[in-house]
Structure formats: structure tokens, C-alpha cells
Chains A and B, each alone.
Chain A
Amino acid sequence: DSGVTQTPKHLITATGQRVTLRCSPRSGDLSVYWYQQSLDQGLQFLIQYYNGEERAKGNILERFSAQQFPDLHSELNLSSLELGDSALYFCASSVLASYNEQFFGPGTRLTVL
């Protein structure tokens, strides 16, 4: 158990819908990262937040957005869902430092039908 929690574990929805994925980082970790794992794109970095502020952006679609709340939990919002958005979405957390390990949550499996 990494100490990072993600809910829900599984999500099945239809095209065009909107979903919210939730992540709680390890106690004391200020930085949260979102990654997408799909069959065709592999593991890709989406976005990073540090202490409530966006720190870095990767290959995140405009239909996707995220935020980190004062209690440090984070949410990834996916809207206007397409079949190709089906993937495993990971959240990871770390202490922002020059040398730090990212601890991954168990992931949320999103299926868009």
C-alpha cells in the first residue's frame, strides 16, 4: 500500500458524459501528479499540482481539467468523453524536493462505451 488513495476503482460511462476522478496523496506530500495509461499511448504524464497550484502540464486534452484543494486532495475532471479516453488513470504523490520518489495510487479504470 503506497498510501495514495484513488476513487473510484472502476468507472463505466457513455460517450459525451463527464466524470470526476479523485485522489488523496500520502500524508505530508504536497505534490500530486496525474498519469494516463492506455494501450496505444502507454503511460503519459497529464498534469502536476503542488500545494494547490498547477506546476506542470503534459499531454492533457482541453476537455480534461484538474485541481488540488486546500486539504491537498486532487480531482481530475474529464468531459465530453470519447471512446479513446478509456484508460487507467493514475495519481501519484511526492514531497517536492530535488530527489524524491513518486508514490502511485492503485488507479481508476475508466471505460467509455
Chain B
Amino acid sequence: AQTVTQSQPEMSVQEAETVTLSCTYDTSESDYYLFWYKQPPSRQMILVIRQEAYKQQNATENRFSVNFQKAAKSFSLKISDSQLGDAAMYFCAYRSAAQGAQKLVFGQGTRLTINP
């Protein structure tokens, strides 16, 4: 079974600075997808960014980018120019690419605080 580990329960960063959230995963599969979800105080789960394992290029979405290291099974999220609205729980998630395997496996989450 696949597992996802987020080793940083809490992180904080100054507004406008850059922060990196860590995620490692364990799988024997070669084809899969990785995601970062944001959960603000409203509790809504919002997709931040996604990465296909077969792509070598790291995904980017505006101020959000990932560092995907397939051999190391590492998938970190970098937030540049942090804003107060970035304060939230961030969850790393794994999904197999196997036919019919649609469930998301989540890490424990990292609570990000933005200091003004």
C-alpha cells in the first residue's frame, strides 16, 4: 500500500518570503500522480498543484511550484512571495495511475502560518 509522509506538522514564514513544504511517499508503482491540496479555515479542500510522475518537468502554478524527485520519492511544494491568504493546512496526496485506482492517499498535513 502507498503511504504519504509530511514530516513538518507546522511551518511559518514571513509575508513576501518563500517557504518549502516537504512530502515523501512510498510506492512500488512507476506511474502515478501527486497533488498538493490547501485547506483554509473554511475547511474547503482546494487543489493547488498536480504532477504526473512520467513528466520530468516540475509543475508550476503562479507562485506555487514543486520539486519532484522521483528516485528519492520526494515531492516538495514551494510557495513564493507568501501572502496572508496562503495560511492554511497543506496536504500532499498520491493517486495511482492504475486503471480503476482513483482514491487519493493523503499525508498528515502541514499547518502553514504567515507572519505579517
Given contacts A42-B108, A99-B33, A101-B50, contact A106 B44 (CB under 8 A): yes
Bits for B25-58, please: 1 = Cβ < 8 Å to A, else 0: 0000000010001000011111100101000000
In the complex, which of the residues B44, B47, B106, B107 contacts A101, with contact meaning CB atoms closer than 8 Å?
B47
Alpha-carbon gap, A43 to B37, bound state (A): 12
A57 to B, closest residue via Cβ: B103
| Contact partner, B43, options A88, A98, A102, Cβ 8 Å | A88
Chain A 30-57: CB-based contact to B (< 8 A → 1; otherwise 0)? 0101010000001111001000000110
Does B100 make an interface contact (CB < 8 A)? yes
Tell me which of A104, A107, A109 has the highest count of chain B C-beta atoms within 10 A of its own C-beta: A104
Least CB distance from A90 to B in Å reads: 6
CB of B65, distance to nearest CB on chain A (Å): 18
Q: What residues of A have a CB within 8 angstroms of the CB of B97 in the complex?
A: 98
Residue with the greatest number of chain A CB neighbours at <10 A, chosen from B37, B43, B50: B43
A42-B109, A101-B50 known; A56-B100 Cβ under 8 A:
yes
- Give 17 CB contacts A-B under 8 Å: A35-B104, A42-B108, A43-B91, A43-B106, A55-B100, A55-B102, A56-B100, A96-B102, A98-B97, A102-B102, A102-B104, A103-B47, A104-B44, A104-B46, A107-B43, A107-B44, A107-B45
